[in-house]
Chain A
Amino acid sequence: MNRRRGAIATVCMAVLALLWLFPLLWAVLSSFRDYAYTQAHGYLSFGGWTFDNYQRVWRDADLGKYFLNSLIITVPAVLLTLFLSSLAAFVLARFSYRFNLAMLGIFLAANLLPPQALLVPVFRIYREVPLPMAMSDTGQLLGSYWGLIAINVAFQIGFCTFVLSNYMKTLPFEIYEQAQIDGASVWRQYWQLTMPLVKPALAALATLQTTWVYNEFFWATVLLGGQGDKFPITSALNNLRGQFFTDYNLLSAGSVLIALPVVLVFFVLQRQFVAGLTLGSTKG
Chain B
Amino acid sequence: MTSTDPDLVPPARAGRRPSRRLPWRDRAVVIAMVAVPSFFVLSLVWFPAVLSVILSFGSWNGIGDVDTIQWIGTQNYQDIATIYPPFWPAVKHNLIWLGFLFLGPTLLGMFLAVVLDRNMRFSRFYQTAFYLPVVLSLALTGFIWQLMYSRDQGLINQVLGTDIDWYGDPSVNLWAALVATAWRHTGYIMLIYLAGLKGVDASLREAAAVDGASETKTFFQVVFPVMRPINMIVVVIVVIESIRAFDLVWVINRGTNGLELIGALVAQNVVGEASRYGFGSALAVIMMVISSVFITLYLRVVFRQERER
Residues of chain A touching chain B, judged by Cβ–Cβ distance below 8 Å, are 6, 9-10, 13-14, 16-18, 20-21, 23-24, 26-27, 30, 38, 42-44, 84-85, 87-88, 90-91, 95-96, 101, 103, 105-125, 150-151, 153-155, 157-159, 161-163, 166-167, 169-174, 185-187, 190, 208, 211-212, 214-218, 221-222, 225, 234-235, 237-238, 241, 248, 251-252, 254-255, 258-259, 262-263, 265-266, 270, 273-274, 277-284
Contacts and interface: CB of A to CB of B under 8 A. Distances in A.
B153 A43 contact: yes
Contacts of B299: 105, 108-109
B196 interface: yes
A208 B45 CA distance: 21
23 contacts: A20-B129, A20-B130, A20-B133, A21-B129, A23-B133, A23-B147, A85-B37, A96-B18, A101-B303, A106-B46, A111-B3, A114-B263, A116-B266, A118-B45, A119-B280, A121-B47, A122-B48, A155-B45, A169-B14, A185-B29, A225-B271, A278-B191, A281-B198
B30 A95 contact: yes
B159 A186 contact: no
Contacts of A16: 112, 126, 130
B52 A120 contact: yes
Leading 3 A-B pairs by shortest Cβ distance: A215-B137, A278-B195, A173-B14
Contact of B130 (A17, A101, A120, A172): A17
B158 A43 contact: yes
Contact of B246 (A105, A120, A218, A281): A218
Nearest to B251: A238
B14 A88 contact: no
Given A6-B120, A23-B148, A284 B11 contact: yes
Contact of B192 (A27, A255, A278): A278
B2 interface: yes
Contacts of B45: 110, 113, 118, 154-155
Contact of A116 (B8, B17, B42, B284): B284
A171 B48 CA distance: 36
Given A43-B153, A278-B192, A217 B143 contact: no
B147 A44 contact: no
Contacts of A266: 132, 135
A88 B126 CA distance: 38
Nearest to A167: B10
Contact of A174 (B14, B19, B26, B51): B14
A263 B247 contact: no
Contact of B196 (A42, A115, A263, A281): A281
Contacts, number: 331
Given A114-B291, A117-B288, A154-B40, A280 B8 contact: yes
A239 to B, nearest CB: 10
A235 B26 contact: no
A59 B284 CA distance: 40
Nearest to A39: B153
Contacts of B98: none
A163 B6 CA distance: 11
Contacts of B51: 120-121
A117 B284 contact: yes
Given A154-B40, A262-B135, A255 B288 contact: no
B136 interface: yes
Given A13-B116, A118-B45, A218-B247, A44 B158 contact: yes
A219 B253 CA distance: 18
Contacts of A121: 47-49, 51-52, 55, 281
B174 interface: no
Contact of A217 (B25, B46, B137): B137
